[in-house]
Amino acid sequence: MNRKSPVRRRPGLHAVAAGLVLAVGLGVSSQVPAQASVHASAKAPTAVTQSVAAPKSVTGTHGHAVTRVADFYGAYIDAKGDYAGPDVALAKNLRKHYLTADFAKRLAAWEKKNGADGVLRAQNVPARWTVTDNGSMGHSHEVKVTLTFGSGATAQKVKLFVLVERYNRIAAIETTSAH
């Protein structure tokens, strides 16, 4: 190595790293027999403690219709069903951002006639929801939203078909598919 080289060896650093690896290795190897004897004498764990749930994740793609509808429904349901109280202003702003102006007017008329939230097609907030791709239709895309109200034997599911125009704005929410 020449003196002008910016990379220099540090023999002391390698010795410290090797010492840490050795210390950790010895610590683990000395703990294994002790842990094994403790577990051997303990009762077998029940099925409930043995099952470990995998971490949940959500994946999205910028500009994709399914992601857009999932983002809207997730935020909208959170705004409407907030435990501290519904955030009416947020729900209104989400509708303004995600819905076309024409559809927003038609939705308001539907809500007045039916006495329910037009986005959810209900008077209450769902416990769960699923958003699934339902295919493209010309310059638009249809996304299926399944809302689950309640739980257990009394759970009710509502399927909605959301039409997303080519500029990623929601142009319709229907109870039947356009396909």
Q: Is the confidence at residue 137, as pLDDT, over 50?
A: yes
Give the whole-angstrom CA distance, residue 178 versus residue 160: 11
Q: What is the pLDDT of residues 77-125, one digit of tens each?
A: 999 998 788 999 999 999 999 999 999 999 999 999 999 999 999 999 9
Q: What are phi and psi of 105, to 5 degrees?
A: -65, -45
Q: Is the confidence at residue 31, as pLDDT, over 80?
A: no
Strands 170-174 and 156-164, by their bridges, are antiparallel
Q: Is the dihedral of CA 22, 28, 32, 35 positive or negative?
A: positive
pLDDT at 29: 42
The chain-wide mean pLDDT, for the chain, equals 80
Q: Which of 159, 169, 139 is nearest to 63 (CA)?
A: 169
Q: Is the confidence at residue 175, as pLDDT, over 80?
A: yes
Stretch 32-37: mean pLDDT, rounded? 43
Q: Can you state the percent helix, strand and coil of the chain, rounding each to 5?
A: 45, 20, 35
Hey, where are the domains in the chain?
65-174
Task: Tell which CATH classification among 3.90.1640.30, 3.10.129.10, 3.10.450.50, 3.40.47.10 matches the domain 65-174.
Answer: 3.10.450.50
Give the whole-angstrom CA distance, residue 89 versus residue 76: 11
The number of CA neighbours under 13 Å toward the Cβ of 56 is 1
